[in-house]
Each structure stands twice: as C-alpha cells, then as structure tokens.
C-alpha cells in the first residue's frame, strides 16, 4: 500500500470515529438545517431527475429528503451497486422498495428502471468529509468518483456537516470534486471558475 493510500485509510478511520462520536441530537439538528438549505437551493428546486444516496449510520440523513422529493413529484434515483466499483442509478418510487445491498446499504431492486448518468439533473453524493473546493473523502470503494466522472450536465452536490468540513483534503488524480457542498451553515461552490465564494441559495 502506498503512503498516500495508507494516509487516506487512516484519515477515513479517524473521520468515521469522529462522525460516529458526534451527539445524536446535534447530528439531527445539523441534518435538518442541511435539508432545509438543500430544499431551498434553486438548482435543487429546478431539478426533476435526482440521484441521491441512501443514508445509513451517522451519515447526513437523506431519507427525509427522498420522501420530500417523492411527495413533490420529482423522479428519484438511488444507487444500486453491481461489480466492484460499478454503480447505477435506479428509479425509486418508495422507500419501502429498498432491499439489502452491497455492504448492507439498502438499494432499489434490480428490476427498477435504470437512468443513465447523462439523463440526470442533479446528483447528491455522500462523504465522510469535504473540503471547500468540493473534494470528498469517501469510503474507499471508488463508486462515487467513477460515477461522478460519468455525469454530464447534472449538478453534483455533497452533503457535509460543518464539523467535518476541511479547508483542504488529500487528493489523488482520480478524485472528482462536486459542484457544491451544502452544510448546516452554508452552500459552498466547488472548483467552478470565478465562484470561489459562499453563495446564498
């Protein structure tokens, strides 16, 4: 294992322990603020077909966000993982459809309609932490970096509590930044030319 990979793995372990150790009430309060900030963000409101991760454990909650999207008539897609590192967007019409998937993460059934990355309006990606340029630290499987690299015109967003936001995270050549990071305090553009400032949704 290279020194960079070793450092990243150590960082993942530290970040996960830190996130798991946060007070549940504080997490819930932050997540409610993130949800409100996302749902009032103009690019989210305009998007019709949205790909969103299914939250588990201490991740920023997306289940309530998904319920809101379904209620508003948006087309909601959730990830279904197949071969190592390969992920697809499958249409989800109810959280009750979810079944156990890779690594115990709930996912849509195989027979749900698949949406191609080029047909998405917006992608909401998970993270252990983000930096202010839109780079994420994920879980090491590479699923989202590969998927984000295949997205064409869709806006990409990561949800990150302010407590896990960094100024700069270690990057590798294959890492793909998101367009925006949404925290419980602000909306931050990633590496968008001329947009290195906080924006108000």
Arithmetic mean of pLDDT, 97-102: 90
Residue 62 has pLDDT above 70, yes or no: yes
φ and ψ at residue 61, rounded to 5 degrees: -65, 130
- Mean residue pLDDT across the chain: 90
Overall residue count recorded for the chain in this entry = 201
Q: Which residue has the tokens 């996302």?
A: 38
The packing angle between helices 24-39 and 63-71, to 10°, is 30
Residue 17 has pLDDT above 70, yes or no: yes
Least confident stretch, 13-27, 58-72, 86-100, 185-199: 185-199
- What pairs with residue 92 in β-bridges? 76
Structural domain boundaries in the chain: 3-189
Which has more pLDDT, 174 or 121?
A: 121
The pLDDT of residue 104: 82
| pLDDT category of residue 192 using cuts at 50, 70 and 90 | low
The pLDDT of residue 2: 66
The pLDDT of residue 1: 55
| Helix segments in 47-192, DSSP class H | 63-71, 143-150
Residue 198 has pLDDT above 70, yes or no: no
φ and ψ at residue 130, rounded to 5 degrees: -135, 160
- What pTM did the predictor assign? 0.90
The pLDDT of residue 194: 39
Output the CA angle 91-92-98, nearest 5 degrees. 125
Burial 101-118 (b: 16+ CB within 10 A, else e): beeebbbbeeebeebebe
| pLDDT category of residue 200 using cuts at 50, 70 and 90 | very low
Domain boundaries 3-189, corresponding CATH code:
3.40.50.10420
The pLDDT of residue 102: 75
Residue 193 has pLDDT above 90, yes or no: no
φ and ψ at residue 104, rounded to 5 degrees: 75, 10
């Amino acid at each position: 294992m290279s020194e960079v990979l070793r450092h990243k793995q150590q960082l993942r372990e530290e970040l996960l322990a830190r996130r798991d150790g946060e007070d549940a009430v504080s997490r819930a309060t932050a997540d409610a603020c993130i949800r409100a900030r996302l749902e009032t963000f103009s690019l989210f409101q305009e998007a019709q077909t949205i790909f969103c991760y299914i939250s588990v454990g201490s991740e920023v909650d997306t289940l309530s966000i998904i319920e809101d999207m379904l209620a508003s008539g948006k087309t909601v897609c959730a990830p279904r993982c197949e071969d190592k590192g390969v992920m697809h967007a499958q249409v989800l019409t109810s959280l009750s459809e979810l079944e156990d998937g890779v690594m115990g993460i709930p996912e849509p059934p195989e027979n749900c309609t698949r949406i191609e990355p080029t047909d998405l309006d917006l992608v909401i990606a998970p993270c252990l932490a983000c930096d202010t340029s839109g780079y994420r630290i994920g879980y090491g499987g590479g699923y989202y970096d590969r998927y984000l690299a295949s997205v064409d015109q869709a806006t990409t967003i990561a949800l990150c509590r302010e407590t896990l936001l960094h100024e700069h995270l270690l990057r590798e050549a294959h890492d793909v930044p998101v367009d925006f990071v949404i925290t419980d305090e602000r909306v931050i553009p990633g590496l968008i030319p001329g947009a290195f400032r906080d924006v108000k949704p």
